[in-house]
Chain A
């Protein structure tokens, strides 16, 4: 195994600023021939920005990118990266169903032709077969990609890179949604390609595979590469510590939370969830939620967080398990059922799931509570009452809008989020559990604090209400939650509560295995055997 091959791509001191965020703060990274480099880090650590710079999708504000020792052309863009032999395989499946495997793999290169007009199918198949042979797979080049399994689809995407003679392959979370055996298959392909001299940048949240597959590991934090070392000189624990970083001195604040012993004495939980499932995303989840709690759901992308929230709110139907509210089992067939039982969801994608963009602020705010703003007894709406209720929300949540009739399309992200919150807050009286999926995504700092305050106010022990918060930012969970459940691969991987909720703790729960901290009630998943 060549440990230090020739450097294909070299990045040094890369800086990239987005409005309000320093995504890269001087990142250095070399990619070498015949090597698999693992890239790890928390969400927001800068991994995806590095990939975007490499792919020519983003221009760095500072630093240097060298390809084969020379700066890329001035107008470096994704098609030039492609020509220079850099290929990117994203975690979303990017194939074209309806086309064959061969047509997918050769897409973008000129298909071989007959008479300059018709696709020469035999020659196309032969060319693709050769690529597939290199990948040691028995996928039929004539099959429709729609009929392939997820791992086969990903192999097709890698095949496309090979067909285009890529020297450097970036695999972004390639093991997402794959089973153990499929991951092994993927790994042997990656090793094969490396031995053939390719350079592979392997991005993953799964530390087990990073440790077993890669030759070298780079850990990113706060826009920098803070650790770079041959894999065999690294332990799982060192890796977790590098990803999480040092605990900021004195950062742990006292917070009110419902202790385990208090919960035990409380008569009934507000929400009782038992063996809730909807495979493949949610396999078996059980937990209780007590009045006054702000329960965090931590987990990596693909852990089933959002899917769990959708089950609880009736947006999707579960295939098994029980949800009961105050002792009554619920039949959650639609969001309307959940809302009647007092559970509402503030979805992650507010523009597409939370708001009617063509509606004004007023119409959005009152959408879920229209029957409370009637003129009389008939179901006629009273615009005056609606406006009054909306005005109150606008001032309570400090929604920045010229009038309550302003189209929400024209509001900023933070204000749009507040409108979604307001929609549920106006019928606060009837709601018991509000589920926030990534409530601060795309929201600026001021609005973020305000949303935090709101969530704290919503979870009120005396009124018998609680909140569930999903966030990819561990820092948010540590600041906000009274208890956190970590999900891994559709099941509860552990919990932390009160002052035990630290970033280190969450990282170790979420990444699993080898974390040295004490954890209550963890069902460990033995990933390495």
Chain B
């Protein structure tokens, strides 16, 4: 059933030359595009080269690189959770509090000093708690229509406080079974178990976002919520699902962190909030610029950990590391913004 219509040259022209009047000269345009798409990757390579040159014997070694991969796993997992929410143009700033609470809860559940259940039961329960808290956030945001930004800050504070209260602001060392510690500390084929766990979660997140209907709907919702709704998408269900995934990811991250530490430190997750967002935003400034993606987030998390490790090897102090990491985030947002401006 094809319809014949005389082609209109004026129309074709309009399609082929978008926004010609506003476009800068071709060379500048080209530089900007390349910078936008590959800038972050180039910066990562340069950073890597600098560390390698400064401390060839300490940095550019298999042990260090494996260490970076291991240490970035919890951050990447938390950040992948956030990526789902960011894709839908929402924010969940309770992720730090969620990680703290879940990390504490898993240890408290298995420690004989508190509850003392089998460590596998403790893990399952913790995952369920993460999901339940995420569901609470999601329902409050998408059904009760509370503003996500401030609500999740408040909820994060509640979660952090709850974690501290459970253990009376003390760390818990006793009664943690070795089998639990082995989850994060064990290794396989020379790589930490955390690397494999992270990889599995990365693959799942990638497939969901890129290859499932739910993932496509999430991007559509982020791009134009009203068009998504009028197309028949279950907008509130999708938004809620995003917060649930953050809860799940935070629980996994918290479990891994305390499995690695062999202890429960009730403010584990607080320091992870900014890096988790930094990783996702770094990720959004590469590949398809301005678009959050699972792969981008993973690369972002790896980069942040690489800098953390590198700066530690250069024996820079914690505050300096913070300043540099914050500065990198500002740069990444700038790159994403600049390249978006050329697209609009």
Residues on A facing B (Cβ under 8 Å):
313, 315, 334-336, 338-340, 344-345, 347, 352-359, 363, 367-368, 370-371, 379-381, 395-398, 400-402, 409-412, 414-415, 423, 444, 446-447, 449-450, 453-454, 457
A457 to B1, CA, bound (A): 10
B15 near A415 with CB under 8 A, answer: yes
Question: Given known contacts A380-B212, A396-B2, A410-B18, is B230 in contact with A347 (CB within 8 Å)?
Answer: yes
Select from chain A the residue with minimum beta-carbon distance to B16: A402
Assuming A352-B226, A355-B227, A380-B212, is B232 touching A339 (CB within 8 A)?
A: yes
B224: Cβ under 8 A from any A Cβ = yes
Tell whether, in the assembled complex, residue B3 and residue A353 are in contact, meaning their CB atoms are under 8 Å apart. Answer: no
Give Cα distance in the complex from A415 to B219, angstroms: 22
Q: Which residues of B contact A (CB under 8 A)?
A: 1-3, 5-8, 11-12, 14-16, 18, 207, 211-214, 216-217, 219-220, 223-224, 226-234, 290-291, 344
- Whether the Cβ atoms of A353 and B220 lie closer than 8 Å is no
Question: Which residue of chain A lies nearest to B291 when distances are taken between CB atoms in the complex?
Answer: A358
Could you tell me if A412 and B224 are in contact, using CB atoms closer than 8 angstroms?
Answer: no
Q: Which residues on A sit within 8 Å (CB–CB) of B1?
A: 396, 457
Q: Report the minimum CB–CB distance from B333 to chain A (whole Å).
A: 18
Contacts A367-B231, A368-B231, A447-B11 known; list 4 others, CB within 8 Å: A358-B290, A370-B217, A415-B11, A450-B3
B12 and A400 within 8 A (CB) = yes
B3 touches A412 (CB 8 A): no
Q: Is the CB of B227 within 8 A of A356?
A: yes
Closest beta carbon of chain A to B226's beta carbon, Å: 5
Q: Are A412 and B232 in contact (CB under 8 A)?
A: no
Chain A to chain B contacts (Cβ below 8 Å), 8 pairs:
A335-B232, A347-B230, A395-B2, A412-B14, A444-B8, A446-B8, A447-B11, A454-B3
Contact B5 A353 (CB under 8 A): no
Interface pair A315/B230, CB less than 8 Å apart: yes
Inside 8 A of B290's CB, which chain A residues have their CB?
Answer: 358
Which residues on A sit within 8 Å (CB–CB) of B224?
352-353, 355-357
**B residues in contact with A355, CB < 8 Å:** 224, 227
> Are A371 and B226 within 8 A (Cβ)?
no
In this complex, the member of B213, B223, B230, B232 whose beta carbon has the largest number of chain A beta carbons within 10 angstroms is: B230
Q: How far is the CA of A363 from the CA of B217 in the complex (A)?
A: 10
Smallest Cβ-Cβ distance to A424: which chain B residue = B231
Q: Which residues on the A side are within 8 Å of B220 (C-beta)?
A: 356, 359, 363, 367
Contact B3–A397 (Cβ < 8 Å): yes
Smallest CB-CB A-B distances: 10 pairs = A356-B223, A339-B232, A336-B232, A368-B231, A410-B18, A356-B224, A379-B213, A370-B213, A358-B223, A367-B231
CB distance from A501 to the nearest CB of B (A): 25
The answer to whether B230 and A410 touch across the interface, beta carbons within 8 angstroms, is no
Give min CB distance, A38 to chain B, whole Å.
37
CB contacts (< 8 Å) of A415 on chain B: these are 11, 15
Q: A446 to B12: give the CA distance in the assembly, Å.
A: 12
Rounded to whole Å, the gap between the CB of A330 and the closest CB of chain B is: 14
Q: Which residues of A contact B233 (CB under 8 A)?
A: 336, 367
Q: Identify the closest chain A residue to B12 (Cβ).
A: A400
A359 to B223, CA, bound (A): 8
Assembled-state Cα–Cα distance A509/B73 (Å): 69
Whether B212 contacts A398 by the Cβ 8 Å rule is: no
Bound Cα distance from A392 to B219, whole angstroms = 24
Selected contact of B227 from candidates A339, A354, A444, CB within 8 Å = A354
**Which residues of A have CB within 8 Å of B229?**
315, 334-335
Q: Is the CB of B216 within 8 A of A363?
A: yes
* Chain B residue with Cβ nearest A397: B3
Given that A353-B227, A397-B3 are known contacts, is A380 also in contact with B211, CB under 8 Å in the complex? yes
**CA–CA, A392 and B227, complex, Å:** 23
Q: Is the CB of B15 within 8 A of A357?
A: no
**B12 contact set on A, CB distance < 8 A:** 400
Q: How far is the CA of A344 from the CA of B214 in the complex (A)?
A: 21
From B7, B11, B232, give the contact of A414 (CB < 8 A): B11
Query: Which B residues are CB-close (under 8 A) to A402?
Result: 15-16
CB distance from A249 to the nearest CB of B (A): 27
B residues near A457, Cβ cutoff 8 Å: 1
A residues near B2, Cβ cutoff 8 Å: 395-396, 398
Do B11 and A400 have beta carbons less than 8 Å apart? yes
Give the shortest distance, in Å, between B225 (CB) and chain A (any CB): 10
- Could you say which of A313, A336, A354, A357 contacts B234, with CB atoms under 8 Å apart? A336
- Least CB distance from B12 to A in Å reads 6
Known: A355-B224, A398-B5, A423-B231. A411 touches B15 (CB 8 A): yes
The chain B residue sitting closest to A345, CB to CB, is B230
Does the CB pair A370–B15 fall under 8 Å? no
* Closest CB in chain A relative to B39 CB, distance in Å: 20
| Chain B residues in 8 Å Cβ range of A347 | 230
CB distance from A359 to the nearest CB of B (A): 6
Which chain A residue shows the least CB distance to B211? A380
Which residues in B have their C-beta under 8 angstroms from that of A357?
A: 223-224
- A356-B224, A357-B223, A412-B11 in contact; A446/B231 too (CB < 8 A)? no
